[in-house]
Amino acid sequence: MRISEVSRLTGASAKAIRLYEARGLLTPVPRLNRYRDYSEQDVAWVQLIRQALALGITLAAISRLQGHDGQLDWPAVLGLLEQQHRRIASERARLEQVDRALQQVRDELQQWLQAGRGDCVLDPNGCSTPA
């Protein structure tokens, strides 16, 4: 099948599919006349690559998942997914900490405004009335 059909089936642009091929993520695609002739296996690989990218996995990391025979190294896939899960858990914890700090500042500002103070002198300890 031609690249336009692979693109339609996978949602990947023709440019992206050519990039995957150039990076060695797809096996060299045979040509029929002047056109690349993609197989169902190529479509499956493009779908897998797109799914991995959507999970935040880089093309470089994806390329390390293939063995020398072009097949997926499934234990490596599992390891990469676990690594990505840990990275996301760490980022989630960091974002929760930022959210708590943001909420605290918002609450302090609301209390300050409700107390009728309209002017604020910036101070590392929060808003205070000017002397």
- Higher-pLDDT residue of 65 and 131 is 65
Q: Tokens standing for 52?
A: 């991995």
Using DSSP's 3-state secondary structure scheme, residue 42 falls into helix
In the prediction, which pLDDT does 129 show? 55
pLDDT tens-digit series, residues 43-90? 999 999 999 999 999 999 998 888 777 788 889 999 999 999 999 999
Q: How confident is the model at residue 12 (pLDDT cuts 50, 70, 90)?
A: very high
In the prediction, which pLDDT does 70 show? 72
Residue 33 near residue 39 (C-beta atoms within 8 A): no
Phi/psi of residue 127, each to 5°?
-75, 140
In the prediction, which pLDDT does 106 show? 93
Domain ranges of the chain: 1-70, 73-131
In the prediction, which pLDDT does 26 show? 87
Q: Tokens standing for 115?
A: 């107390």
pLDDT tens-digit series, residues 34-43? 888 999 999 9
| Segment holding 94, helix H or strand E | helix 74-114
Beta pairing partners, 32? 35
Tokens 């002017």 appear where? Answer: 119
Q: Tokens standing for 38?
A: 């993609």
| Overall average pLDDT of the 16-39 stretch | 90
Residue range 1-70 in CATH 1.10.530.10: no
How far apart, in Å, do the first and last CA atoms of the chain sit? 77
